[in-house]
Amino acid sequence: MRHIKVFIPNAINSINNLDDDLIIKKSEEIIKKSAFDVEVLFYKDKKLGIKCDDSLIANEIYLNQEQLKDRINKFFNKKVVDKLIIKS
């Protein structure tokens, strides 16, 4: 029989991964309302990595990143994104 201490770290890691996946999915949906050709690559340490093939759209995202961060944070009712990293 295993002790409960063995299961707690695994449960916490799976919850955190689920949260990261949810943040990626919902952030992509929010960003795609403004720029349709965007893919969210990663979320780590409150940084959201975004890939955009079109440099004009990447520039628009860069110029409007504060509004996008505000929309994402407002959706989750807490500050989940501090910085957008935009790759074109």
Length of the chain: 88
CATH architecture of 4-87: 2-Layer Sandwich (3.30)
Residue 37 has what pLDDT? 85
- Alpha carbon distance 40, 12 (integer Å): 24
Averages of pLDDT over runs of 10 residues in the chain (88 residues) are 62 59 93 88 94 91 94 92 92
Domains of the chain: which residue ranges? 4-87
DSSP H or E segment with residue 49: strand 47-52
Structure tokens at 3: 């002790």
Residue 41 has what pLDDT? 94
Q: How far apart are the first and last CA of the chain?
A: 52
Contacts of 62 (CB under 8 A, 6+ apart): 84, 86
Residue 84 has what pLDDT? 95
